[in-house]
Amino acid sequence: MIKIVKADGKAEYEFLAAVRERSSDTDRDVTVIVSDIINNVRKNGDKAVEEYTIKFDGKAPEFFEVPKEEIERSLSACDPDFIQTLEKAAANISDFHKRQLQQSWLTTKENGIILGQRVRGLERVGLYVPGGTAAYPSSVLMNAIPAKIAGVKELIMVTPPLKNGKPNPNIMAAASIAGVDRVFLMGGAQAVAALAYGTESVPKVDKIVGPGNIFVATAKKLVYGIVDIDMIAGPSEILVLADESADPKFLAADLMSQAEHDKLASAILVTTSQKLAEETITELDRQIKTLSRAEIIDQSLTDFGAIIVCDDMDKAVEMANGLAPEHLEVCCENPMEYVGKLDNAGSVFLGNYSPEPLGDYFAGPNHVLPTSGTARFFSPLSVDSFIKKSSFIYYTESALKADKDDIVRFANTEGLTAHANSIIVRFDDNE
């Protein structure tokens, strides 16, 4: 079970270093396997995808592309209450992401100069959605809705079939609500390769987003450059900052909400109270007995979980910024006072009634977040992830003439005389 670490300037950093190392190694065997799959799909297209689908999923689906009527039918095949929940969550996600939308712009300057920037959505995006026991309709909403708001013209979803060869109805319902354009029943590295290079059936996309296992993540990494990707996601993680006002029952529940994802997941509590640390362990021991994934939770908390006791909140905030966690909860008496101090986190949850699952499913901000300390320089998935920008320049003859000497000087200084000549020839006959 989880351990208590007293922050002494050494012990806490040794633990944090071990947490960072858990996702740093690249599995060379997986890379070799995935490279072979990608090359096969690139060469043999649909035939290779079908062979891998039979090999890994048990049987080929009745159809690779799910008919639109089948997608729509899923809305009536699912629990009506769950459909209402999907629709409420979709409305919250849409409202939040609409506020991120950027506009094209232009500005005029003296001498008739016009400068500007054009913003538009990507042409075609691929969305990978896991199947089987890791089927997450919430990920469909979180990836698809900002893409459609950004103006993506065609959103292609791939997801493994169920063992009976049919699509997961909950995933199909989420796809319908989120506005996915086409759905293909295929998964694994072969689906990523199909999106990246295109096959007879699957169109080539410009970007691939969405979560997956190590084979999917490795495939995304290997096709990056052929297409864009969202990020290379590592194991899930949560860091909870808590002062003596926090409720240990809440803290224990929130730590386990992340630990249940994966044995490599990391759940850390940083507090100024030794008493709270001990009470939280008592709550962990009590609550874990009722949970279905208790074995995974216990392994995760034992290997990569800790309760770190600091002398003051300044030290706790310093540790949070150093770890740059995917999820950061602030369970303190005045949580808003820390907003401006917490610079490195994927998503910040403020107060005792803003637990991490609220962000996973419902509040509106995206749950696709940077992991493994990359929140120091990466941002959550957003509308910005699905747009591209072009700048444009218009100069009149008089405007270019006014600046020509500076441009020529720049070019000559860099040894690029053809650049300089491109400016000079426009005015040779005029001077």
Distances (CA, A) of 422 to 115, 282, 409, 412: 20, 75, 13, 12
Tokens of 379: 């941002």
User: Could you report how far apart the first and last alpha carbons of the chain are, in Å?
Assistant: 83
**What is the dihedral sign for C-alpha 159, 163, 169, 171?**
negative
Q: Is 72 a catalytic residue?
A: no
Whether 16 and 322 have beta carbons less than 8 Å apart is answered as yes
In the DSSP assignment, the letter for residue 392 is E
Whether 212 and 130 have beta carbons less than 8 Å apart is answered as yes
- The residue type at 179: G
**Which residues, at least 6 apart from 382, have a Cβ–Cβ distance to it below 8 Å?**
97, 100, 146, 366
**What is the dihedral sign for C-alpha 72, 78, 80, 82?**
negative
Comparing C-alpha atoms, which of 273, 311, 267 is closest to residue 15? Answer: 267
Q: How far is Cα 414 from Cα 129, in angstroms, rounded to an integer?
A: 49
Whether 308 and 269 have beta carbons less than 8 Å apart is answered as yes
In the DSSP assignment, the letter for residue 224 is B
Comparing C-alpha atoms, which of 119, 386, 379, 375 is closest to residue 228? Answer: 386
DSSP annotation string for 132-167: GGG--HHHHHHHHHHHHHHT-SEEEEEEPPPTTSPP
Give the SS3 label for residue 343.
Answer: coil
Whether 115 and 393 have beta carbons less than 8 Å apart is answered as yes
Which CB contacts under 8 angstroms, 24+ apart, belong to 396-401?
396/111, 396/112, 396/113, 397/426, 398/111, 398/112, 399/109, 399/110, 399/111, 399/112, 399/113, 400/426, 401/427, 401/430
Kindly name the residue from 97, 327, 329, 356 that is annotated as catalytic: 327
Q: Is 326 a catalytic residue?
A: yes
Kindly name the residue from 326, 329, 356, 367 that is annotated as catalytic: 326
**SS3 labels along 354-384:** CCHHHHHHCCCCCCCCCCCCHHHCCCCCCHH
H helices present in 45-79, as ranges: 46-57, 68-77
Catalytic residues: 326-327
